[in-house]
Structure 1
Amino acid sequence: MADPEHLAWRDLAVAVARAGAERIRARAGAADLRVDTKSTETDPVTEVDREVEAMVVESLLAARPDDGVVGEEGADRAGTSGVRWLVDPIDGTVNFLYGIPGCNVSVAAEAGGQVVAAAVVDPLHGDVFAAARGHGATRNGHALRATSASDPARSLVGTGFGYDPERRRRQAEVLVRVLPQVRDVRRLGAAAVDLCWVACGRLDGYYETGLQAWDWAAGGLVAEEAGARVGTVGDVPLPDGLPGACIVAAAPDLFDPLRALVAAAGAAEV
């Protein structure tokens, strides 16, 4: 049953993500950004990633001081309320560095073992995606619905690549097997927006291996609440099955054939 409280959490997620997105919009592609690296030399983090995470976390805890928070850039607070927020301050940092649309702020609330409220704000595209479990999903206030695609050969599919060079090589091998069997493939460079694009019909499906919870949580709920199916190759349970699993999101009738296709291509083995 839909919980009215999830709507309040959704609205809070939208408010804090909007504020962070304004900071992204003002600084995207700036020449004077300070840039460090994390897991590999191609995995950047900027001063703005850290600033936006601090802004979002501070705002969430000001509104809900007993909640837990986990953020990509190090926020980690257990909380006592049973609600945990998952924050990606800049999903698509490489896009942000180059001023390419797709970078976004992704905020999700988790309770009872599932994601129940979400916001993904992409300031350069001018998109605010939001969802509350049982209440549907919206883009800029308008209800979303996934496509009716069912045949991979006629479907536009999104994917992404990790930062580790060896994983990227294996992901490219998977793509070589997938590409001839779908209409075409898009690589936007931001998992949350890929998932939201499944929700709004800009993509028919999406798959990627190696995501963290903050990468998929908000966008995954938006996709689900728009009628898409979201799961993993091999039915590894979410959320604890990631980051090793391959996540798949697709229009309802496309989900099974797309999952079978990427499984056969070896996506779960990268």
Structure 2
Amino acid sequence: MDRDLGAARELAVGLAVRAGRLQIDRRDTLRVGAPKAHANDVVSDVDIDSEQLIVDAIRAAWPDDAVQAEEGHGRDGASGWKWVIDPLDGTRNYISRTGPWSVCIALYQGDEARMAVVHEPVAGETFSAVDGGGALLNGEVISASGGGSLAEALIGVSFQPNPRTKDRAGRLIREVLPLAGDIRRLPAALNLVYLACGRLDGGVALDTKLWDIAAGALIAREAGVVLGGRDADFSTELTIGAGPALWAELSEKVRKAA
């Protein structure tokens, strides 16, 4: 079944902006629920309501599409298309007011990402891409960093804060930080879209979920970022990204450390 990906992007951008506005408006009155998988895996009523807003509109527009969403509003579909949604990537930052977060929406056809949106509410920045159509930031074309020296590179690091992954991240940082210009810890989606617009030279994400990286990965790829993991394909277990000039050096170091 064909799909108008431009119309899908237009809908996703509008929904991401609406969800981001809800998140800003309700930040002073949010309620934090019980942790999910571990003590640092927190969720708020704003996460849940943001997801409901997005999913309800997608169901109204394309009722036969599948939905995979972080906070449980998923469903099977019959169209061959699937929406992958993280309504608030970076909940800990959002709750604690210590850093950025984003709204992430991706559309898959089978196993292939075809459209993606990542919206950062506070900055008012909306990153988007359509498969084969390049990557945009607020409607303007973006591209990956051309930097090729790891010693001068700014590297984004993302990881789930469970004990096992923190141990992996600690080993990675011990190996890579002395060789790099500097690192920044970021939610996975923003790590990838900051790679896409050249703010970061490289990035690594450990033990994510598909909804954390689905949208950002397509945007990064469309901006010219090279993506991989333990081998040629990136995965939720390990995602490495860099501009073409830095890719070989960074991926070699990360694979050894991670």
**TM-score normalised by length of structure 1:** 0.90
TM-superposition CA deviations, 1:119-167 (whole Å, max 9, x none)? 1111012211111011111111111011112221221100022121232
| 1:112-261 superposed matches below 5 A | 112-188=110-186, 190-235=187-232, 237=233, 242-243=235-236, 245-261=237-253
Q: Which runs of 5+ in 2 are unaligned?
A: none
Aligned AA (2:240): V
Instruction: Kindly provide the CA deviation profile for residues 159-206 of structure 1, in whole angstroms up to 9, marking residues without a partner as x.
Output: 022121232023112111110111110112x11111000011110110
SS where residue 107 of structure 1 aligns? strand
How big is each residue's C-alpha offset from its partner over 1:40-70, in whole Å with a ceiling of 9 and x where there is no partner?
1111000111101111000111111111101
Q: Deviations over 1:2-29 (max 9, x none)?
A: x98222222221111111111111123x
Q: Which residue of 2 aligns with 1:56?
A: 54
Q: Which amino acid aligns with 2:4?
A: E
Q: 1:112 to 1:170 in 2, by over 3 A?
A: closer
1:41 lines up with 2:39 in the alignment: yes
Distance change (3 Å), C-alpha of 1:207 and 1:32: closer
RMSD: 1.6
Does the 8 Å contact 2:159/2:205 carry over to 1? yes
1:104-119 aligned at under 5 Å gives the runs 104-119=102-117
Aligned residue-pair number = 257
- C-alpha separation in 1, matches of 2:94 and 2:30: 13
Give SS of 2:231's match. Answer: helix
CA contact (8 A) 1:67 1:80 kept: yes
**8 A contact 1:101–1:124 mirrored in 2:** no
Q: Report the AA paired with residue 196 of structure 1.
A: V
Deviation, 1:258, is 1.0
- Pair 1:22 & 2:15 matched: no
User: How much identity, in percent, do the aligned residues show?
Assistant: 35
Tell me the distance in 2 between the aligned counterparts of 1:154 and 1:90: 31
Question: In structure 1, what is the Cα distance between the partners aligned to 2:154 and 2:4?
Answer: 35
Matched residue SS, 2:25:
helix
In the alignment, residue 193 of structure 2 is paired with which amino acid?
A: C
Q: Letter of the 1:6 partner, please give it.
A: L
Structure 1 residue ranges without an equivalent (≥5): none
Structure 2 letter corresponding to 1:255: W
Change (3 A) 1:32 1:211: closer
- Under a length normalisation based on structure 2, what TM-score does the superposition of the two structures give? 0.95
Deviations for 1:206-230, whole angstroms, at most 9, x for unmatched residues? Answer: 0011011100010111111111112
Counterpart secondary structure, 2:34: strand
**Counterpart residue type for residue 225 of structure 1:** E
User: AA paired with 1:264?
Assistant: K
Helix, strand or coil: the match of 1:45? coil
Deviation at 1:32, TM superposition (A): 4.8
Q: CA separation in 1, counterparts of 2:79 and 2:135?
A: 25
